[in-house]
Amino acid sequence: MSQGDQQTDELESVVDPRAVIRDVAEKVKKYYRLLLACLVVYALAALAFAALVQPQYLAVAVVGPAQTSLSQTMLANGLSGSGIAGLASKLSGLGSLADQGTPFSEYTQLLTSRRLTEDLAQRSDILPVVFYKKYDEDQKRWLPRDDVFHRTIDFLKWLLHYPVKSVPDGDDLAKFLSQNMDVQTSLESEFVTVTLEFKDPAQSQELLTKILLDADRIIRSDTRADVSARLSYLESTLPKIDQADVKESLISILSIQQQQMMAINADKLFAFDLVDPPHADLVPSWPSLPLIGFLAIFFAVVTWGILVFVLRPGNWLLFEKKRQKEVRLSAGSR
């Protein structure tokens, strides 16, 4: 190893972290006004950002299985026991009754499905609220895209094989929900937490409520159609059955289906129970003032460090000379 390399290793080995800390402390003491100026600038920038950015409010709802619903009880227990499930599995159109999922399991799957977004997009009170920037509330129509800017954007989309749309549709709504709605299933209970972030607390609550109820309406409609078909089948099949035991079993199944149809038509909520209704705090979830404050302080300190230690190389030269002098004195004392 050369003498120069040995000296370099010696210099690196004797670097005292306390000397670095003392140098930083001296710089803070000397340039504290610059640090305060950086803090003030970034604090003002953070306040301006928080004031100008569109706030977002988080609506939260907790849903669970419809424990008090007659339909849930019948789906879980109505076809078990007494040999009814075995008989039903032999009948055309009734084979899946004992094994089908509960309405709540279908409901939770539907909340994140494309089917729900397409159904919501067909409503007249969803897309204008979600895409309010593109909608003229006074004229009750979508804003035209006939200016030069939008025509240029549409041309570039066409050129790049992107879809060109005059109004938002189900795809746009699906993208919005994927970015702003979250469905979290608890591992410790059957409850599901659904959150939705939007620009207004009242509108976020209302929008989340509509989504939850629309999903319930779809499950109710599907179940009604299935039960109606089973009732028609049973009512048409019963007069043709002569065996007493088979006829008695079919009558039991018919009674169950009639009770389920009653639950479908009578229950206020069919597929779920609203454990905790949608609620949005009046304090916006974004922008987060603690996070913005932390970032302002962080960038102020980084900017100050760059100004003091990087853009003022003389400071480092003086520190290096001082360090080398200490190393020489330490080597001479040996």
Cis ω before 55 (30° cut-off from 0): no
201 close to 116: Cβ distance less than 8 angstroms:
no
Looking at the chain, the whole-number percentage of residues with pLDDT higher than 90 is 54
Q: What is the pLDDT of residues 118-157, one digit of tens each?
A: 999 999 999 999 999 999 999 999 999 888 988 899 889 8
Q: 313-333 and 17-30 helices cross at what angle (nearest 10)?
A: 140
Task: Calculate the alpha carbon distances from 25 to 18, 21, 35, 189, 218 in Å.
Answer: 10, 6, 12, 54, 67
DSSP secondary structure letter of residue 91: S
Task: Say if CB 102 and CB 72 are below 8 A apart.
Answer: yes
Q: What is the pTM of this model?
A: 0.75
Give the three-class secondary structure for 193. Answer: strand
d(CA 250, CA 290) in angstroms, rounded, equals 65
CA distances to 114, 194, 279, 299 from 209, rounded to whole Å, are 18, 10, 10, 41
pLDDT tens string 154-186:
889 899 998 888 899 999 999 999 999 999 998
Name the pLDDT band for 85 (thresholds 50, 70, 90). very low
Going by C-alpha positions, the residue among 65, 24, 59 that lies closest to residue 204 is 59
Task: Tell which residue, 119, 65, 55, has the closest CA to residue 288.
Answer: 55
Average pLDDT over residues 206-232: 95
Distance, CA of 289 to CA of 31 (rounded, Å): 28
Q: Is the pLDDT of residue 112 over 70?
A: yes
Most confident of 26-40, 212-226, 319-333: 212-226
What's residue 78's pLDDT?
A: 47
The residue with greater pLDDT, 84 or 259, is 259
Average pLDDT in the 21-46 region? 88
Other Cβ atoms within 10 Å of 98 Cβ, number: 15
Q: What is the pLDDT of residue 10?
A: 47
Q: Give 98's pLDDT tier (boundaries 50, 70, 90).
A: very low
Residue 25 has pLDDT above 90, yes or no: no
Provide the pLDDT for residue 230. 93
CA dist list (Å): 100 to 1, 74, 77, 95: 78, 12, 12, 9
- Domains of the chain, with CATH numbers? 3-53+288-333 (no CATH), 57-131+168-280 (3.30.1890)
137 alpha-carbon distance from chain centroid: 27
In degrees, rounded to 5, the angle at the alpha carbon of residue 147 between the alpha carbons of residues 141 and 150 is 85
Rank 25-34, 148-157, 198-207, 308-317 by mean pLDDT and report only the highest.
Answer: 198-207
Structure tokens at 106: 């279908």
pLDDT given at position 331: 67
pLDDT of residue 308: 83
User: Would you place residue 62 in the very low, low, confident or very high pLDDT band (cuts 50, 70, 90)?
Assistant: very high
The answer on pLDDT for 294 being more than 70 is yes
- The pLDDT score that the predictor gives to residue 232 is 93
Lowest model confidence (mean pLDDT) among 17-21, 131-135, 294-298: 17-21
For residues 239-254, average pLDDT: 88
pLDDT score, position 86 = 47
